[in-house]
Structures are given as structure tokens and as C-alpha cells.
Amino acid sequence: MTAPPQLSLSPPPRILVVEDDYANRLLFADYLTFAGLTVLTLPDGTQIEQALANFQPNALVLDLGLPGPDGYHILEMLQTPGGQLRIPVVVVSGYAFVENQERALALGASQYLVKPVQMKQLVEAIQGVLADR
């Protein structure tokens, strides 16, 4: 594995990762932490409101195929009354069909990456959504 691009922001951006697959969740958390980000992970979306309030992430990495509220529901929940997302979202999903990507982007996702994702690509996507804020 190549070294991740280092983010030299102070304080480090906070990234919330919502991913049900344990191995992916661990990989994302370890790599993003190594890249200089502060990371909190959730295995599903049941506690996302509490995590958003307490952790106050700068961006969200979101799987779509989650148990309980799926990623589409979470994207809808994150929208403000004006239809904008409260925080930028990078979707990382095994759903590779164009329809899935279009739906997620229509719901406000900033980036859509298909698994398996290269970790460098994930860090670059996060850098991009943070820079766009």
C-alpha cells in the first residue's frame, strides 16, 4: 500500500465513516487516520444523528447498502429544508449501476466511488469535498 496523501490542516478535519462491512470500516478508518484525519466510524445509520451532533464531522464517507436506514435514507435525512446537504458526502458503494450513482448525486452526494476503492482515491475525494466547502 502506498503512503496516503497527507492533509496538513489544523485542526485535522473530522470524517464520519458509515460502513457496515467490518474490514472496510477498519481499512477506511486506519488509512484516513494515517492521512491526517480524525475519524469516527459507525456500522450502520441508526446512531447517525447522535454522531453528527457529538462528533460534528466536516465530511461523511457513506456506504449505500446499510442495514437499517440505508445510505439513500441518510442522504435524504441530511438535507436541509432548502435541499442542500448539511455536510459534504463521499459515497463509497458496491452499487455500480449508473442509476445508483445518479440517485445518490441527485440526493446531494458530492462524490461517488465504486468499491473496491483505492485508498488514495478516497483521500483525494475527501480533499476535494473539503476544499469545495
In Å, what is the CA distance from 103 to each residue of 15, 64, 75? 23, 11, 10
Q: Virtual CA dihedral for 82, 12, 16, 107, nearest 10 degrees?
A: 30
Contact at 8 Å (CB) between 90 and 62?
Answer: yes
pLDDT at 10 over 80: no
What is the domain class of 14-131 according to CATH?
Answer: alpha beta
Fill in the DSSP letter of residue 47. T
Q: What's the count of helices (H) and strands (E) in the chain, helices before strands?
A: 5, 5
The model's pTM: 0.91
Contact at 8 Å (CB) between 85 and 78?
Answer: yes
* Domain regions of the chain by residue span: 14-131
pLDDT of residue 130: 94
Tell me: the pLDDT tens digits for 53-112?
A: 999 999 999 999 999 999 999 999 998 777 667 899 999 999 999 999 999 999 999 999
